[in-house]
Structure 1
Amino acid sequence: MMKTDMRIGFGADVHQLVSGRELILGGEKIEYDRGLKGHSDADVLIHALCDAVLGAGGLGDIGEHFPDTDPRYRGISSLILLKKCADLIREKGYEISNADCVIFAQAPRMGPHKKKMEENMAGVLALDPDRVNVKATTTEGLGFAGRGEGIAAQCTVLIKSISG
């Protein structure tokens, strides 16, 4: 009988909203008066997903692999970082089974963009889009997200051994 090795990873990230930047979430450009502050494109959703993937593989975190002090990552698309994370766990003999993500933002409304975010991330991860789920919630006006000062995201992934 073949034994399947499965592991779960969790990732979370927060970025401040600032003027003069595009808002990119899940690899999707969203029209808004501000964007997220960061060294890369500051895609908080994909950063949380990267951390979940790396965590499931026992590979540390996004800052260890793509430090914000490295000029190679200035302005880089986070979709590229996600692809590198997926490659790292494949090298360890795992593949992503599914991802479940949530965005915490008072505004803008995420509903019209969620399906495209799922497709963008699934494409990079070589998954069927129904294996990547994006949810969004407000914080009912509470905290930094509720005051419109930033956006947070959390993701959970399940990975399984390729040989399994």
Structure 2
Amino acid sequence: MIRIGLGYDLHTLVPGRPLMLGGVHIPFEKGEAGHSDGDVLLHALADALLGAACLGDIGELFSPNDPQWKDMDSSFLLKTVWDKVRAAGWTLENADCVITIQQPKILPYRQAIRTSIADILGVHIDQIFVKAKTGEGVGIIGSGTAAAVWCTCLLSRP
């Protein structure tokens, strides 16, 4: 059996917060606003995994109204999700993610991001891919006000 999952997340970018993407701190003057550390990439990937396995969504598991998740490292959230997905008998074939952010350029950090995600999930780096797009100066992405991520994943189990 195989299943495809789709995850999406969007966070505003604000001064005074670190920019975290895929568990990697990227030097920039703004970071994601969020209840946890705001790692929009790890949140979208967690939702893709949960959706493919029909195990809920990230907001259901880690409510933004629950103070225990305040400023939580999203690597922990993704690892917790992945443990739940694996316990249901699923394995990851691959994940493909698109980051939309006007600045900074993501290409110099892509390998570190892929490595970080592969390490969190305990999979080979060739199972994870990340690419980035700008907003071409249009909308909340293009104005530098927000960052968004779409992730797909393919899960399998016997």
- Aligned CA RMSD, in angstroms, stands at 0.7
Paired AA for residue 25 in structure 2 = K
SS in structure 2 of the partner of residue 120 of structure 1: helix
Paired AA for residue 129 in structure 1 = I
- Alignment match, 2:88: 92
Paired AA for residue 129 in structure 2 = N
2:153 and 2:75 map into 1 onto residues whose CA distance is 16
- Alignment match, 1:37: 33
SS in structure 1 of the partner of residue 137 of structure 2: coil
- Alignment match, 2:19: 23
Q: Among the aligned pairs, what percent are the same residue? A: 46
- Alignment match, 2:104: 108
- Alignment match, 2:68: 72
Q: TM-score, normalised by structure 1?
A: 0.94
Range with bigger deviation, 69-78 or 12-21: 69-78
Paired AA for residue 159 in structure 1 = L
> Shift in Å at residue 105 of structure 1?
0.7
SS in structure 2 of the partner of residue 106 of structure 1: coil
SS in structure 2 of the partner of residue 18 of structure 1: strand
Range with bigger deviation, 88-97 or 27-36: 88-97
After superposition, residues 1-164 of structure 1 pair within 5 angstroms as 5-161=1-157, 164=158
Instruction: Find the structure with the greater CA-based Rg.
Output: 1
Q: TM-score, normalised by structure 2?
A: 0.98
Paired AA for residue 18 in structure 2 = E
Runs of 4+ in 1 over 4 A off after TM superposition: none
**Structure 2 unaligned regions, length at least 5:** none
Aligned residues: 158
Paired AA for residue 77 in structure 1 = D
**Structure 1 unaligned regions, length at least 5:** none
